[in-house]
Amino acid sequence: MKAFIVFLSGFLLFILAAFSAEAAGPDAKRVALVIGNSKYVHAVALPNPANDAHLIASTLRNAGFEVIEGMDQDNAGMHSLISQFTEQSYDADLAVIFYAGHGMQVDGKNFLIPVDAELTSPAYLKTRTIQVDDFLAALPPDPAVGVIILDACRDNPLARTLAASLPKSRSLGSGLAPIEARSDGVGTGGILIAYATDPGAIAFDGNGVNSPYSTALARHLTEPGIEIQSALTRVRGEVTETTQGRQRPWHNASLGREVFIGKPVVVAAPEAKPANAGAATAPTLVVGDPPSWEVEQRLWDEASKRNSVPFYEAYLEQFPNGRFATVARLNIDELNDPEAQNRQVAALDTDQANASSGSAVRTSVGVPDEVKQTPGTELTENAIGLDRQGRIDLQLRIEALGNELGRVDGNIGPQTRQAIGIWQVENGLPQTTYLTREQLAFLVIQTDPMMETVRARYAADQARATQPKKQVVKKVRTQRPVAQKPRKQQQVVQKRRNRDTVVRQDDDLPPPRDNNDFLTKALIFGTGVAVGGVLKN
């Protein structure tokens, strides 16, 4: 049994290293665009971006990249380089964009600043800057992998100039706004976006020749056998230590496979042993001996996926004091206990039922003490820089945990605030109804397993809501035919109508002369004639 475990662990390491070598094979096309803007015309020059760009360009060339490089680029120059990169990287397997210089966020969108930009009007954002969306559009399609690295979160005087001309309805935030890495296609490629510091924060240009971020990036990005996300984790740790916690690099990824910027770990194949050999020996690591953190991670992922005693023991053989050693031993004890196996099967059935109903949550995610102790405020939430789509995603995540929000529309109203407060209480966080960046990250990790279903349901609801309503056809009411009245009755009715017509016509004539008035006047006239005759005689 011991020999089998040793052989199994060696075989797993060999297979995992072979996959790594295949992922970064020599035939894979790798293209990079590197831009560093230092000499700004309408702002104080930055000392390090051009130096940082030279450093990263050299680092990527040594890693086998075709590098398109540009320093102190104006608006036309940056657009030209992006076009050149788009054409050259279209059929690449791995494409990387690195930019160092000034950048800003307005209304949740990120803009990079050419050296000739003068931002005295809001209209100039469209005509004299480069949107990060232009970088995203330049990346090759899936199954390629695209990487965007931005060291553009410096204190920006051009942003303050622009702020004076912006209407109050528009929001200009500090640093860069977070971007959710999304990729289309079959999902074997993907996108990774990295910032020199957290979204909404300011990065340091540094006192030396290079910025703290670019220095750490050049040191760790191309380490042999280190997957890119692990490399960026090491960069974050080094920069955080160098700046005493004032700058913490950030990245967001949606990758369908492991990505290695540097050369993969080379592992010697296990030698064939005779059938009567007492024990099989594990392969020898040529690079990275003892095995690196990434090799441990991949071996543990394989063991946990198999969930069997030999694979857990193979992990423990290589990493007896590894990060997952305690969990591996517990799993072995449970798998060796028949009653524990029955409980595990019952729990698995329950988990599958929950997953099918869309209520699966990563309840095993621990909340660090610093997250529990830091209360959220309006300022901490505004610093996150959520745009409307980000607020909708937040509402969907809160609603996915069983909270009733009413309408998911991107407006953080009283119901959403109440639901955030309930979630904070349930997870041992200060109930302020406002989020910190760390709390939002914890919520994302907690709800990620269910978001694909939740977003699909939301998209279907939105599609139904936007469908045109069916036109209602009004029914024409048909009058029933009036039965013919008898002839005599018709004549009576006609006479009545004629009489009414005569009366109406008489109403229009002048009033008739009064006969009594005529007789009175005739009598007076006759009396006057008689009196006149008497007087004459």
Q: What would the pLDDT profile of 239-296 be if each residue is shown by its tens digit?
A: 998 888 889 999 999 888 889 998 765 544 445 444 444 444 444 444 434 435 556 6
For residues 21-58, one letter each, b for 16 or more C-beta atoms within 10 angstroms of the residue's C-beta and e for the rest, the string is bebbeeeebbbbbbbbbbebeebeebebbbbbbbbbbe
CB 130 within 8 A of CB 197: no
In our burial notation (b when 16+ CB lie closer than 10 A, e otherwise), range 238-257 reads bbbebbeeebbbbbbbebee
CB 155 within 8 A of CB 202: yes
Structure confidence by residue, pLDDT tens digits, 181-236: 776 655 668 999 999 998 888 887 777 788 999 999 999 999 888 999 999 999 99
> Which pTM value belongs to this model?
0.49
The CA R_g of the chain, rounded to the nearest whole Å, is: 42
Report the C-alpha gap between 537 and 533 in whole angstroms: 6
Q: Is 421 helix (H, G, I), strand (E, B) or coil?
A: helix
DSSP 8-state class, residue 222: T
Domains in the chain and their CATH numbers?
Answer: 25-255 (3.40.50.1460), 274-336 (no CATH), 369-466 (no CATH)
What single-letter DSSP state applies at residue 134?
H
Predicted confidence (pLDDT) per residue in 460-488, tens digit: 888 887 776 665 555 555 555 555 555 55
Nearest to 135 by CA among 150, 155, 118: 150
Task: Write the pLDDT tens digit of every residue in 249-265.
Answer: 999 998 888 899 987 65
The average pLDDT across 364-380 equals: 67
33 pairs with which residues across the strands?
Answer: 68, 97
